[in-house]
Amino acid sequence: MVPRAGHWGCLVLEVTAALIQLIPSGCCGSLITGGHEVTPHSRPYMVSVSFEGRHHCGGFLLHVHWVVSAAHCFNDRDPSTGLLVLGAHALLKPEPTRQVFSIAAVVRHPSYQPTTQANDICLLRLNGSAVLGPAVQVLGLPRRGARPPLAGRRCRVSGWGFVSDFEEPPPGLMEAEVQVLDLNVCNSSWQGQLSPATLCTRSGDHKWRGFCSADSGGPLVCGSRAHGLVSFSGLWCGDPKTPDVYTQVSAFVAWMWDVVWRSSFPGSSGCSVSNVTISAPYWGRDE
């Protein structure tokens, strides 16, 4: 199998003799498959990562200075040319709620593996401070090391992915409701190639539903917390034969807060995983 005509820019990784393809969803394809447009600014944590004036990946606001996104979004990209757009709904229309920042730093997880997309997560530092309000809010995390949502749980994934193969942008932020899939079942569809710190979803019915192009880095929200981070899918968006794969956020909560707190103290030695116990902020009960 090869990418469809016109999609020569996709990163395709041969993981089995059957040529199953792991395609980062920030590179090619269509839309939040089988989804709908959300009420404007009802997902105030969503962030658009853009390059050269075009939406490239998604993300979510973790802290007034930090955004969470997928590490693969910055493969072969110069972060200094990127912008972080907060408070948006329709990216091609002027909106008074919008806040735009440049990227002051990109901190990839130290164990990120581009060839397998394992540990596909990064933190992006804003070059200023987000102003929180009705259209811009942080999104809560699960407890550090919390178990992933049980199979069958309904969650939602959002993004500004294209709505056609001609790269037609969506009218606004799109969202789809999906169902968590047992990781062992999902891994069998991916020939056992998934890392343990992943999470999978499917439509839960006979329809094709899920994420697609330019949705990478966006959160999978279960209840009121980010439990997944869009990582990769198959060649055909929403195809149940290749379930959507996310980075499991709870496995990286300690690392994320470590980065945030180290950046708050001048003279701290870098942004790496610490061996000490981190007292991270936590909002309410676990979802």
DSSP class of 169: P
Q: What is the phi-psi region of residue 171: left when phi exceeds 0, alpha when psi lies from -120 to 50, beta otherwise?
A: alpha
Find the catalytic residue in 56, 65, 72, 89: 72
Handedness of CA 119, 19, 166, 76 (dihedral sign): positive
Interatomic CA distance for residues 252 and 145, integer angstroms: 8
Kindly state the tokens that stand for 240: 């149940």
Find the catalytic residue in 25, 56, 65, 120: 120
DSSP class of 236: S
Q: Which helix (H) or strand (E) segment is 189 a member of? A: helix 183-189
Place of tokens 């056992």: 192
> Catalytic annotation on 120?
yes
Burial 37-47 (b: 16+ CB within 10 A, else e): ebeebebbbbb
Find the catalytic residue in 25, 216, 231, 250: 216
Backbone angles phi, psi at 102, to 5 degrees: -85, 170
How far from 91 is each of 71, 97, 245, CA to CA, in Å? 22, 12, 26
Place of tokens 């936590």: 282
> Catalytic annotation on 72?
yes
Interatomic CA distance for residues 19 and 1, integer angstroms: 7
> Catalytic annotation on 205?
no
Interatomic CA distance for residues 162 and 55, integer angstroms: 9
Q: Which of the residues are catalytic?
A: 72, 120, 216
